Structure 1
């Protein structure tokens, strides 16, 4: 099919544009993008029309489908890239300020003092738990049965809270 006259092309455009646009909206679910993609479909028609004028509808459908899927693939790739960038940039924490470092050290010193006031078994069970040991590993280290570890942790945590509360300055 040769489209020598712009009037012929305009007639084809006005006749098929609403259908092409509607199919693209249904495919990609974005009306603004569908408008742009429909223009691309007709630009391809203008530059490289099908050989058989009777196959125009099928040709338009094939081209709009290909353009729509290419668009969705591009958008998916952009989303994945954006997600990776957000993940990368979000995981990069700003370096701690001097104040943050000092506060963390003071907190650690307070916790050490509170742990020193606890009985040895309570201190051990808490240190093992917060060092990443499992209940089974803690039981092995302390020489107790695994079901007892939960009770020991609960009691040690309660004692640590009481110790921390006692040593807090009272504000009047």
Structure 2
């Protein structure tokens, strides 16, 4: 493929690439993988604490995406479909480790929308060396805090904060109801806020 053609694929929308990949266009599939691989890796990075597993899960997710992309009926829903691939792999990963998803009883008060706290709300621009060091420490604390969450909470918060999915989309992917999703995310945010309290006060 020449440079002109490469540029053509880079200018294609995600939906266009999906349609072309479904027609066995390998160049489109290559560009599609390039577009999503960092996002897939980031998801597993926060879902699993084992570096080797993160790489393996990322590769497996991309492979499953390539093998099954023709099964996607609506290319406009590619991101949601890919998140389902990621979620299923994560559940399989947990089962392979002989672990069970932890669940928490739903408190009606937690079903109400709470003040939004994003794990991305950490300043990182125009930092002094001291501030850069603090931001690095904050990132480490956030990562450890997320990994300490129950599996079901961790999955919900990652899908919400890092993938930007709605409560309804997360409920569909995790096969739960919106109330359960809101409760898990609320509890996860509260735990993250507790761990970060001394840094964001």
- Settle same-fold status: TM greater than 0.5: no
Bigger Cα Rg = 1
Bigger relative contact order (CA 8 A; separation at least 6): 2
- Superposition TM-score, scaled by structure 1 size: 0.42
